[in-house]
Amino acid sequence: MEELPAESFPVLEDLVYVDSPSDSSAHDRVPTQAFANSTSLRRVAVYGNDFNSWLPLPWKHISHLLTFGFLMDTALWNNTKPSLELHTACFHLDWRNYGYNSGLHKFRDAPVQSLSRLQHLTFLCASPYDVEYPHFFFNFDFPNLRAIRFVSSKSVLSLCETGAKAAFLNKLQALTHLAYLSLVLKFIPSATAEELFQSTPYLETLDVETPEDCSRLFHLLTLQADNPDCVLPNLKTLVLELHPCSQLYPGPEGKDVINASGLCSFVQSRRQREHGQQLQRIILYSSDKSLFSHRQPYIACLQPFVEEGLAIEYRLHDQSGSTSDVRRWAGRDPGLEDWREGRAFFDWRGE
């Protein structure tokens, strides 16, 4: 591939590039110029360490960028600055991308860049540590961002640096077009969820994937008659990923997939709301069709609300590509709906 000239793919529109694990050293390798002048290229998915140093791309033409397996640094963000067409992005973060040891703090004082067309943004953290506030957030504005997703092995707001949490929440609150929030987390502390929801009042869709039964989440989202203030006042749609408990992080015998009573209380409070937006739709995803059975308690409890107009949609994951549970979120991502190869990129890379 390194021997191909820059004009090799003049009409290429989509690129999924998986680098060989044996080619992990980016500093001494010959750059792959084959796609440098592919001006028709719009959607790119790359798996490879420090790919920005050896894979020149026509950044100003790219609308979709999915990455995995690299150390994100200032070079990548300097390249994406002219990406005025960037619409959907997923960035893989690990422990090297955080804090002052990451090197990303070096451009904190640089002028703020605006990615005005970016509408869908995913942060994928596969490190053993909690997700922290990435410093490059200080240097970019996303004025038209409509969907944001956090994928992590732990919590979202586990921050060590003083003031970073406030900066993170202020950044979210400034996203006035943000209508879709997705949390793909092993554990969602109530305090973390409440802070997130208070900072995203414009949300219309909440997407949740967790091995928990969501009882604490439902309690937080349930409207109280004696409290006129509520989190997510504009919530219209709830999206839930259902996992068989036996296949995810073994828990107590008989543990519910979804807490039925908590779900019922949440839906009832949102459907009976006299003023403001009512809950209109629940979308359930799973790779196990049996979890959609009306004999499931969390399905049965919703039937009275369905008779009164609540819409429930059941969406079974396509099993033809991969059995990875870790990347199910890619099948729910609104920015990847019409890019099958992009979704398969994450299925292939499932942990």
Could you give the count of Cα atoms lying within 13 Å of 197 in the half-sphere of its Cβ?
Answer: 24
CA pair distance 150, 125, nearest whole angstrom = 8
Q: Report the chain's mean pLDDT, rounded to a whole number.
A: 80
Q: The tokens 């540590």 sit on which residue?
A: 129
Structure tokens at 47: 């798996």
Q: What is the pLDDT of residues 54-65, one digit of tens each?
A: 888 998 899 998
Amino acid at residue number 164: A
User: Is there a contact between 131 and 164 (Cβ–Cβ < 8 Å)?
Assistant: no
Q: How confident is the model at residue 234 (pLDDT cuts 50, 70, 90)?
A: very high
pLDDT of residue 250: 41
Return d(Cα 47, Cα 69) in angstroms, integer: 6
The closest alpha carbon to 43, from 126, 120, 134, 147, belongs to 120
Which secondary structure element, helix H or strand E, spans residue 76, and what is its range? Answer: helix 74-80
More confident residue, 127 or 205: 205
Q: Which residues contact 13 (CB under 8 A, 6 or more apart)?
A: 40, 41, 42, 43
350 pLDDT more than 50: no
Q: Specify the DSSP element, H or E, that contains 68.
A: strand 64-68
SS3 content of the chain, % helix, strand, coil (to 5): 30, 20, 50
pLDDT of residue 221: 95
Over pLDDT 70: what percentage of the chain? 72
- SS3 string, 264-305, reads HHHHHHHHCCCCCCCCCEEEEEECCHHHHCCCCHHHHCCHHH
pTM of the model: 0.86
pLDDT band at 190 (very low <50, low <70, confident <90, very high): confident
pLDDT exceeds cutoff 50 at 348: yes
Is 72:92 a contact under the CB 8 Å cutoff?
yes
Contact 231, 220 (CB under 8 A): yes
Say whether pLDDT at 245 is over 70: no
Of all residues in the chain, the percent with pLDDT exceeding 90 is 37
Beta bridge partners of residue 30, listed in sequence order: none
**Model pLDDT for residues 122-170, shown as the tens digit of each residue:** 887 765 555 555 666 777 788 999 999 988 766 555 544 556 778 888 8
Helix axis angle for 190-198 and 164-173, nearest 10°, is 50
- 341 Cβ partners below 8 Å, 6+ apart? 14, 16, 45
pLDDT, mean of residues 287-298: 92
Q: Is the pLDDT assigned to residue 210 strictly greater than 80?
A: yes
Match 């973060």 to its residue by tokens: 93
pLDDT digits (tens, 9 = 90+) for 18-34: 876 555 455 567 888 99
Q: How far apart are CA 294 and CA 306, in angstroms?
A: 12
Torsion (CA) 121, 283, 190, 330 in degrees, nearest 10: -30
Band the pLDDT of 213: cuts 50, 70, 90: confident
pLDDT for res 173? 93
Alpha-carbon gap, residue 100 to 54, rounded angstroms? 25
> Residue 314 forms beta bridges with which residues?
284
Residue with more model confidence, 62 or 244: 62
CB crowding 152-179: b at 16 or more within 10 Å, else e? bbbbbbebeeeebbeebbebbeebeebb
Q: How confident is the model at residue 201 (pLDDT cuts 50, 70, 90)?
A: very high
Contact yes or no for 245/323 (Cβ under 8 A): no
Higher pLDDT, 78 or 52: 52
Per-residue confidence (pLDDT) for residue 301, from 0 to 100: 96
Bridge partners of residue 18, in order along the sequence: 47
| pLDDT at position 131 | 52
